[in-house]
Amino acid sequence: MKRTGILNRHLSGALALLGHTDRVMVCDAGLPIPDGPVVVDLSFRSGVPSFSEVLDGLLDELVVEGATAAREITGRNPEAAALLAGRFPDGLLELVPHEELKASTRGARLVVRTGETRPYANVLLRCGVPF
């Protein structure tokens, strides 16, 4: 059994399959998920686990070279907007219209669904390499 890090076997296994430029959508409980990507649904109850908990756990395990979120997050969920700004400084975060972000979920290799119920708590991570 793993001692540290992500213990969920489905999520840990899916992360191990990711490579450079693969995309991972970390989403709230309400984002529509299209057929195609592998989905690991961590949602348990409203707010559990939170977007920030899951995002931080993933960032501890992945090399991320960029991220994309919905432009609407700034006005509709300032707490999540501040979280993303803090995790992705120096232009690593691109903001696009929400409809565009939803459409980009089709191209994700992995979708990780949280229990987050605050609006626009979604981010598409682009995997990098550690060298």
Choice among 5, 9, 20, 79 that is catalytic: 20
| Rounded (10°) angle between helices 51-61 and 78-87 | 10
Binding residues: 28, 98, 120-122
- Biggest alpha carbon–alpha carbon distance for the chain: 43
pLDDT (tens digit, 9 = 90+) per residue, 19-58? Answer: 999 999 999 999 999 999 999 999 999 999 999 999 999 9
Q: What percent of the chain has pLDDT over 90?
A: 98
- pTM recorded for the entire structure: 0.97
Question: Can 10 be counted among the known catalytic residues?
Answer: no
117 and 46 Cβ atoms separated by less than 8 Å: yes
Domains of the chain by residue range: 20-127
pLDDT value at residue 1 = 83
Q: What is the CATH T-level fold of the domain 20-127, as seen in this structure?
A: RbsD-like fold (3.40.1650)
pLDDT band with cut points at 50, 70 and 90 for residue 8: very high
Binding residues for substrate: 28, 98, 120-122
Tell me how far CA of residue 17 lies from CA of 27, 29, 83, 107, in angstroms: 19, 24, 27, 16
Assess whether pLDDT exceeds 90 at residue 90.
no
